[in-house]
Amino acid sequence: MSSLACPRCKSALPEGAAACTSCAQAWPRVGEWADFRGGRPLGPAAAVNLWPLTAWGYEAWRARALSLLSGRPFPLGEELCLMRERLEPVGGGVFLDLGTATGLYARALLRAGAARVYALDLSPAMLRAARRRARGLEGFVPLLARAEALPLRAASLDGVAVGGSWNEFARPEAVALEVARVLRPGGRLWLVFTHRSASPLQRAFGRAGLRFPRLEDLLALLAPLGFALEGWREGSAGFVAGTKLPAGE
């Protein structure tokens, strides 16, 4: 069953719909995808992800990202293994790869047996690259949308994975509310982010629209939304793993 919902009124949407029959909102198309993004302008850092060249080179950089941030050899295989462990059980589940870029996490989840992964990004170039790389993997569903207004039904997901995208979200408080909304009770969260440091590079990226939270800020944002959480860091690499608690706990 589809987990899609209108990002405005949150009524259920059939897969492939380009208009909501409940609130009459219609979305333009970009290629074969409904464009759920809405018209808000993008900051310079987010806009770079719209370039096909960024999508083309992205996974070469991504393979080295956690080694650079943590200051020790941190192979991609280790990160994917941690992600799968924290999102267990993966087999048969429905997941969201939030800010999927070229679909690295989405592919890893599908290969681990996930039934369906919504691979969401605001960049058509990234989603095209993700779809190419996921060719042959059943259950891969690209979504052109914003993390701040997810086109997904409440409590419809078994897990949400956020690999490095949190630093780019323009309104992290809105994203946190959306993640809490779409996860079912008992659903799992995996989040990797670049932790705040005194680096001049972070100040420069900050001016371009990136945000570098501290672990304690992220935990303080998520915990009141009904998560049991564990967080840690290695150098500038930050990690949060959590479970959505049943209402009232």
Ligand X SMILES: C[S@@+](CC[C@H](N)C(=O)[O-])C[C@H]1O[C@@H](n2cnc3c(N)ncnc32)[C@H](O)[C@@H]1O
Residue ranges that bind ligand X, judged by CB under 6 A? 46, 49, 62, 99-101, 104-105, 120-123, 126, 146-148, 163-165, 168-170
Q: Which amino acid is at 54?
A: T
Burial class from Cβ neighbours inside 10 Å (0-12, 13-18, 19+) for residue 85 reads: exposed
In the complex, least distance from residue 209 CB atom to ligand X, rounded to whole angstroms: 9
In the complex, least distance from residue 249 CB atom to ligand X, rounded to whole angstroms: 29
In the complex, least distance from residue 137 CB atom to ligand X, rounded to whole angstroms: 16
Gap between the Cα atoms of 119 and 125, Å rounded: 13
Gap between the Cα atoms of 131 and 53, Å rounded: 16
Is the CB of 156 or the CB of 165 nearer to ligand X? 165
In the complex, least distance from residue 102 CB atom to ligand X, rounded to whole angstroms: 7
Gap between the Cα atoms of 238 and 249, Å rounded: 26
Number of neighbours of residue 77 by Cβ within 10 angstroms: 10
In the complex, least distance from residue 148 CB atom to ligand X, rounded to whole angstroms: 6
CA nearest to 153, candidates 120, 183, 177: 183
Is the CB of 93 or the CB of 248 nearer to ligand X? 93
Is the CB of 124 or the CB of 187 nearer to ligand X? 124
Q: Which amino acid is at 49?
A: N
Which SS3 state, helix, strand or coil, does residue 96 take? strand
Is the CB of 43 or the CB of 185 nearer to ligand X? 43
Q: Which residue lies nearest ligand X, judged by its C-beta?
A: 163
Q: Which amino acid is at 4?
A: L
HEC readout, 68-99: HHHCCCCCHHHHHHHHHHHHCCCCCCEEEEEC
Burial class from Cβ neighbours inside 10 Å (0-12, 13-18, 19+) for residue 105 reads: buried
Gap between the Cα atoms of 249 and 236, Å rounded: 32
Is the CB of 13 or the CB of 101 nearer to ligand X? 101
In the complex, least distance from residue 248 CB atom to ligand X, rounded to whole angstroms: 30
CB within 8 Å of 47: residues ≥ 6 apart: none
In the complex, least distance from residue 162 CB atom to ligand X, rounded to whole angstroms: 7
Is the CB of 13 or the CB of 122 nearer to ligand X? 122
Is the CB of 50 or the CB of 245 nearer to ligand X? 50
Gap between the Cα atoms of 155 and 184, Å rounded: 4
